[in-house]
Amino acid sequence: MSHDPRTPPLVSLLAGGAAGAIEGFSTYPFEFAKTRVQLREKKGQPTPRNPFKVVGQVYTEEGLRALYKGCSALVIGSVAKDGIRFLSFDTIKENFKDAETGTLTPLRNLTAGMASGVVASIFAVTPTERVKTALIDDARNDKRFTSNLQAIKLILKEDGFLGLYRGFAGTTLKQAGATAMRMGTYNILKDYEKTRDIAQTTLTNFVNGSIAGTITTLTTQPFDTIKTRCQSAKGASTVEAFNSVIADYGVRGFWKGTTMRLGRTVFSGGILFTAYEWMVAIINPIYKREVI
């Protein structure tokens, strides 16, 4: 995350969207396997407990393309999600800064992240996650969905507009918590490094992002599991999703898919923030030249 107060909102939006697309596509097989593990097992066909086996099994039986089922929905969602998330975070962060020092306290960092997560959930994350999850679930069962557009049409036909917002509560809780932890932790680390005169390089950006991703995963996994159950092909309410996890696995079930999600977020956090810093460095001079 750039700390340059002169970074224009449009640059934050474009850089965040581009970073989200890069991160979403490059780490999608991890997301695919995590989602498969969290969904309810089909009778007689138990899902392997080890998410890495899911990747191998799907690759062997269905090929590489199957591992990217629903990827376009996630990438489109990531462009919108991370564009909105970085834009809203940068905007909120500027209003939260101390007038004299120009810095944020750890609590204000987390609060700014939480607010931007709610905004992203409303305008981008919930509907795109719903389509992505439904596509992954449908591919292993009924196979009614042939594309993103056809899936959206069918969901709208069967459940109406609110069908695209299945799992809104779980998604918003996850996004609020995840963005607070990810953005907040990343900026706290950068502020700390500035006080120690630690150079901000690609490596430090990647490490900071990976640490932020790890903390995010461990603290928000239950919300992610509930969200996935809500957004299956048939859909479920938050209460139904919660009860189904307890019935299937007990309390430990809320951390189902943690290994795979952790594997993804360690890399995705590093990739996301590194790509964002790169894109800001590329876009900002072009934007200033065109405006001036």
Q: What letter would DSSP give residue 47?
A: P
3-state secondary structure 217-249: HHHHHHHHHHHHHHCCCCCCCHHHHHHHHHHHH
The encoded tokens of residue 126 equal 């919930």
Give pLDDT, residue 274.
93
Give residue-wise pLDDT tens across range 11-56.
Answer: 999 999 999 999 989 888 888 887 877 776 665 566 666 667 777 8
Predicted TM-score (pTM) of this structure: 0.69
C-alpha span between 210 and 109 (Å, rounded): 18
| 54 touches 140 (CB < 8 A) | no
C-alpha span between 143 and 163 (Å, rounded): 18
Closest by alpha carbon to 175, among 258, 116, 229, 236? 116
Q: What average pLDDT does the segment 139-148 reach?
A: 84
Question: What are the domain boundaries of the chain?
Answer: 9-291
The string of DSSP letters for 10-25 reads: HHHHHHHHHHHHHHHH
Of the listed ranges 194-203, 236-245, 263-272, the one predicted with least confidence: 263-272
Give residue-wise pLDDT tens across range 207-219.
Answer: 999 999 899 888 8
- The band of 114, judged by pLDDT with boundaries at 50, 70 and 90, is very high
Give the whole-number percent of the chain exceeding pLDDT 90.
Answer: 28
Within 10 angstroms of residue 204's Cβ, the number of other Cβ atoms is 16
Q: What average pLDDT does the segment 118-127 reach?
A: 90
Q: What average pLDDT does the segment 112-133 reach?
A: 90
Give residue-wise pLDDT tens across range 55-69.
Answer: 788 888 888 888 888
Residue 292 has pLDDT above 60, yes or no: no
Q: What average pLDDT does the segment 182-200 reach?
A: 88
Provide the Cα torsion 14, 19, 25, 29; round to 10°.
Answer: -140
The string of DSSP letters for 144-208 reads: ---SHHHHHHHHHHHH-GGGGGTTHHHHHHHHHHHHHHHHHHHHHHHHHHHHTT----HHHHHHH
Give pLDDT, residue 72.
86
Residue 292, Cα to own-chain centre: how many angstroms? 35
Indicate the CATH number of 9-291 among 3.10.129.10, 1.10.10.10, 1.50.40.10, 2.60.120.10.
1.50.40.10
